[in-house]
Amino acid sequence: MDENQQNFNQNHAHESEPVFTPQPSSENPKHVQNRFRVFFIVFVIVSYLIGYNVGHKGYVFVPKDFKIVNQDSQSQSVDYNLLWKAIDIINNKYIDKPVDQQKILEGAISGAVASVGDPYTVYFNPKNLDNFQTSLKGSFTGIGAEVGLQNGNIVVVAPLQDSPAQKAGLKAKDVIAKVDGKATTGWSVDQAVSVIRGPKGTQVVLTIVRAGQDKPLEIKITRDEIKIKSVRWEYKQVEKDGKKKNIAVITISQFGDDTTDLMNSAVNDVLKHSVDGIVLDLRNNPGGYLQSAVEVASNWVEGGKTIVTEAHSDGTSQVFAAKGNNRLKDIKTVALINGGTASAAEILSGALHDYNIAELIGEKSFGKGSVQELIDLPNNGGAVKVTVAKWITPNGKNLNHDGLNPDNQVTLTQDQADKGQDPQMDKAVDEVIK
C-alpha cells in the first residue's frame, strides 16, 4: 500500500437479520395482551438499570465472554470485559477529559485488525480509505512512492516513474526510519501514508536506511500532484549483424484504471511498427488491479490458459485465465524486474515466464503475492482491507513472500543511475535481438 497502493477486489459486506414467521396462537387474545404488558414493563425497568449502570461509564455496550477456537484448535474463553475496562480507565483517569470516543473506537478496530500480523490486512478510517481509493485512479497529491511494511519497518516498495520521490533519489527497499524527525517504529502503513502525504508545494524530510550505506540518509522531497499514465511506450533502433533492429519498450508503472485502454493503444501502435522485439519494463511497478494484470497478460498468453490462481484459506481456489487476444505472441519479449516489482506486476511476470514467453532480467522481485478484499464498515465510512488469498503462478510458484528470481541477474547501482546508465535495459535489448 501506500502512498499508492495495492491490488484488491472491492466488495461490500451486507448484514441481514433473521426472518421469523409468526405462528398462530390458540390462547385468549386478552391474556396474551396482558402478559405482553407485564413483559414490556419488566423489560423497560431492566433496560433502564442496565443502561444507567453502563451508560454512566461513558459507553453503552454490555460486554460478554466469547467462546472461541484458536489457531491450535484449542478452545479458550476470551474476556472482552478487559477491553471495556481499559476504555473505562482511560475515560475516568486520563488527564485531558473528555476523551474522543470515536478515536478510541477507531484505535480499537485498528489494533484488532493489526493483531493478525499481516502488513496488508489493515483498517482504513474514512480519510485513509479515500486516499487509498484515489491512488489507483491516477491522480493524487504526495511524493509518488508506494510504501509497505516489511519486518516491522516502513519500506519503500517503489518510487513511481518521474515522481518527486524518484527524482529525489528514493529507491525500492529503502527503510523509512523517520518522517520529519519522527521515528516510524510501530507505525502502520496508513499512518506513514497520512504523514508523508500533504499539500502540493510542501516539503517532507525522510530519514532513510539503505543497504550498503554506513549511515542514514536524509532526503528532502517537495510534494506535488501525482498524475500517472500507467503505460508508456517508445522505440529503440539498434544494430545487429549490420542490420537495424526496431525494439519497442513498453513501461507499465502500475495497474490502475487506465491500464487496459492504454495497453490496447500501445499494442495497436507496436503492431503498426513491425517491431523485432519487445522489452516489457515492470521495474518499480508496485501492482494494482488484478484484472488489469490479467488483461495485459492476455496480449501474450493463449486464451483460456491460466494467468494466476488465487488459493484461499478454506482450500478453494479461483483461476484467472487469459482472454484470448494474444496479438503479441509472435514477437520476442523480455521482461525487466527489480525489487520494486510487486503484486500484480509479479503476476504478469510470473505468467510470461512460466509459459516461456519472456525471459526475466534484472533483480529479484519484491514478493507481495496476496489478495486483499476491501469491505466497507457500516455506519462508519471506513473499511477493512483483509488478506483473503495468495497467488500461485501457472507452474505452482507461490508469489507470497518468495518473489521471482530473474533468469539473468543484472544490478543497477546508484552511481550508474546518477550517470544515466541502465545496464539492465542494455541487457534486455541485447537479449531480445539475439
**What is the pLDDT at residue 57?**
47
- 91: pLDDT confidence band, cut at 50, 70 and 90? very high
Provide the phi-psi class of 349: left if phi over 0, else alpha when psi is between -120 and 50, else beta: alpha
Q: What is the mean pLDDT of residues 225-251?
A: 90
Name the burial class of residue 123, with classes exposed (0-12), middle (13-18) and buried (19+) by CB atoms within 10 angstroms of its CB: buried
- The percentage of residues in the chain with a pLDDT greater than 70, rounded to a whole number, is 80
**What is the pLDDT at residue 70?**
54
- Whether 4 shows a pLDDT value over 80: the answer reads no
The CATH superfamily label for domain 139-227 reads PDZ domain (2.30.42.10)
**What is the pLDDT at residue 418?**
66
**What is the pLDDT at residue 137?**
60
Q: Tens of pLDDT along 22-52? A: 333 334 444 444 444 444 434 333 443 444 3
Using CA atoms, how far apart are residues 62 and 54, in angstroms rounded to an integer? Answer: 7
**What is the pLDDT at residue 135?**
60
**What is the pLDDT at residue 51?**
44
- As annotated, the active-site residues are 343, 354, 368
Separation of first and last alpha carbons in the chain: 38
> Is the pLDDT higher at 216 or at 150?
216
- 76: pLDDT confidence band, cut at 50, 70 and 90? low
User: Hey, what's the torsion of the CAs at 289, 295, 299, 303, to 10 degrees?
Assistant: 140
Q: Got the DSSP string for 266-291? A: HHHHHHHTT-SEEEEE-TT---B-HH
Cis (ω within 30 of 0) for the bond into 286? no
Q: Tens of pLDDT along 172-228? A: 889 999 999 999 998 888 789 889 988 999 999 999 999 889 999 999 999 998 877
Q: Tens of pLDDT along 318-367? A: 999 999 889 999 999 999 999 999 999 999 999 999 999 999 999 999 99
- The percentage of residues in the chain with a pLDDT greater than 90, rounded to a whole number, is 49
For the chain, give every domain's residue range. 139-227, 231-432
Q: What is the mean pLDDT of residues 8-17?
A: 32
**What is the pLDDT at residue 31?**
45
Q: How does the average pLDDT of the chain come out, rounded?
A: 82
Give yes or no for a contact between 145 and 158, defined as CB atoms under 8 angstroms apart: yes
CATH code reported for the domain at 231-432? 3.90.226.10
